[in-house]
Amino acid sequence: MSEQDVKAEIEKCVNMSAPGPHVFLLVIRLGVRFTDEEKNTVKWIQKNFGEEAAHYTIVLFTHADELVDLSLNEYIRENIEIQTLVIDCGGRFHSFNNQDMENCNQVTELTRKIEEMVRINRGKHYTNEMYKQAQKNNEQDEHYNTNTTLSIILVNGGEGGDRGDGGGGGGDLRIVLLGITGSGKSSTGNIIIGSFKFKRGISSMSVTKHCERHETTVEGRHISVIDTPGLYGTTMSEEQLKNEIVKCVYMSAPGPPVFLLVIRLGVRFTHEEKNTVKWIQKNFGEEAVRHTIILFTHADQLKGKPLDLYISESNALQALVNECGGRYHSFNNKNMEKRSQVTELLEKTDRMVGINGGQHYTIPMFKQAQEKIEREAFQQKVTDFGKTALTVAGGVALAAAGPAVVALGKAAAKAFVAPGAVKTLLTGATAAASLNIY
């Protein structure tokens, strides 16, 4: 197919789904090597259909029945490239066994996921205007290349339902637990879901090393709780912790998480704990704090002292609460029977979502925060390189060393930039093969 033919076919398929599809299904075959072309398919969709298109995309895995040792969730979790693809699509995915025509459940389930996405998109669908805009942008881009191996199905879904909004406001809720080791995250998770599924305790065996998710239904609402390794006090490397954070964001998909910053009462408020809000800001972005509630555990150890009074007696605690917009709640994790503490927490999350005008924390916010960290780390490397060069140059004619350092800094910048540049090229590139549009 010539580039022109492909373009004409895409145009046709967009027109066929007028006034614009609710969903792009990005079809990926499992069980065979995940190719470079496939890795770039989300970029391809964004390039050809516009940036917004990814908000309307669900990854549909076929041949999932051929996975022998692992469940689909495990497979995605263990394959960072597939995981990235899924995260790029807001964590939305589904699988089909196309050999099993009788299995109506797989279709019903897909429809449910589509409806959920439409709801999160507030009933909006991809529009032909978005397509035209993307085409206009592409015409100005001399590297435009429509060839790829990807299969896309455009689906016109139903209008958004009213079953909640995926982030509170009475709808489904996804809660991510953050805090230092021993603060009571896993116990808090157990209280919320109403059973002892998260391992808790202080021995090294029970310290949470991987993100874990358990679910429950509270008064008709589907609640998922994602427990995370401690921000401090584990033996994990920064890299391992970072991988786990990516996972917890993925686990909270589709849709917007609420963060619970878990703090233990009754013991000295540590330096690390004081920095946890900064940690959240750095790793999840400034906006994440607007979606955070502080959850104090060990409320039983206050021995009847009102929590407000306890907070007001500590400048550091007060500052922490203020940083999180004055939102806090407390749990006595030893009292599983006291369900009112969970109901009250849910009320507070709903109120927070309301105050945020229904706006949620999103995956792009997370990505932006991560990119910022990478940029800053890179700048730091360049600065350090300059400093080393300055030391090497020694005290020899400082006036001359000045410009030399700048030059070295630039050289260093090039050396460090190179991998990024390759990445950009790779992501900008679309691979050759045929385009199948159904």
Ligand X SMILES: Nc1nc2c(ncn2[C@@H]2O[C@H](COP(=O)(O)OP(=O)(O)O)[C@@H](O)[C@H]2O)c(=O)[nH]1
Does residue 183 touch ligand X according to CB under 6 A? yes
What is the Cα–Cα distance from 57 to 48, expressed in whole angstroms? 13
Q: Two tokens at 187?
A: 């116990």
In whole angstroms, give the CA distance from residue 53 to residue 90.
11
Place of tokens 């998770």: 189
How far apart are CB 111 and ligand X at their closest, in Å?
37
Query: In whole angstroms, how close is the CB of 276 to Mg ion at the nearest point?
Result: 15
149-157, 184-192, 268-276, 358-366 -> range binding Mg ion (CB under 5 A): 184-192
Q: Which of residues 230-259 bind ligand X (CB under 6 A)?
A: 230
- The 257-264 sheet, strands edge to edge: 212-218, 221-227, 173-178, 257-264, 292-297, 328-330
Instruction: List strands edge to edge, sheet with 151-155.
Output: 93-96, 57-62, 23-29, 151-155, 436-437
3-state secondary structure 264-292: ECCCCCCHHHHCHHHHHHHHHCHHHHHHE
* Min dist. Cβ of residue 330 to ligand X (A): 8
Q: Which stretch binds Mg ion (CB under 5 A): 52-60, 182-190, 261-269, 320-328?
A: 182-190
- 201-230 residues near ligand X, rule: CB under 6 A: 201-202, 207-208, 230
Question: Any contact of residue 298 with ligand X (CB under 6 A)?
Answer: yes
Q: β-pairing, 151-155 with 436-437? A: parallel
- Of 40, 83, 146, 187, the one binding ligand X (CB under 6 A) is 187
* Closest separation in Å from C-beta 211 to Mg ion: 11
Q: Is 228 in the site for Mg ion (CB under 5 A)?
A: no
Taking CB within 5 to 8 Å according to partner kind, which of Mg ion, ligand X, none is near residue 92?
A: none
Within 152-274, where are the H helices? 185-193, 238-251, 271-274
Q: For Mg ion, which residue of 40, 41, 83, 208 counts as binding (CB under 5 A)?
A: 208
The candidate with the shortest Cα–Cα distance to 119, out of 89, 157, 93, is: 157
**Strand residues in 8-160 grouped as ranges (E):** 23-29, 57-62, 93-96, 151-155
Q: Nearest distance from residue 227's CB to Mg ion, in Å?
A: 6
Residues 326 to 345: which contact ligand X by CB under 6 A?
331-334
Give the one residue of 186, 224, 292, 356 binding ligand X; rule: CB under 6 A.
186
CB of 266 to ligand X, least distance (A): 8
Helix, strand or coil for residue 244? Answer: helix
Task: Check binding of 272 to ligand X (CB under 6 A).
Answer: no
Q: Does 186 bind Mg ion (CB under 5 A)?
A: yes
Interacting stretch for Mg ion, rule CB under 5 A, among 136-144, 181-189, 334-342, 343-351?
Answer: 181-189
Report DSSP letters for 363-426, one per residue. HHHHHHHHHHHHHHHHHHHHHHHHHHHHHHHTTTTHHHHHHHHHHHHHHHHHHHHHHHHHHHHH
CB contact at 8 A, 328 and 265: no
Binder of residue 179, out of Mg ion, ligand X, none (CB less than 5 to 8 A by kind): ligand X
Region from 65-73, 75-83, 116-124, 197-205 binding ligand X, contact rule CB under 6 A: 197-205
In the three-class reduction of DSSP (H, G, I as helix; E, B as strand; rest coil), residue 184 is classed as: coil
Residue type, 345: L
Q: Does 184 help bind ligand X (rule: CB under 6 A)?
A: yes
Determine whether 366 is exposed, middle or buried from the number of CB atoms within 10 Å of its CB (0-12, 13-18, 19+). Answer: buried
Q: Is 187 in the site for Mg ion (CB under 5 A)?
A: no
Least spacing, CB of residue 298 vs ligand X, in Å: 4
- Smallest separation (angstroms) from ligand X to the CB of 185: 3
| Binding site residues, ligand X, CB under 6 A | 179, 181-187, 200-202, 207-208, 230, 297-300, 331-334
| Binding site residues, Mg ion, CB under 5 A | 185-186, 208
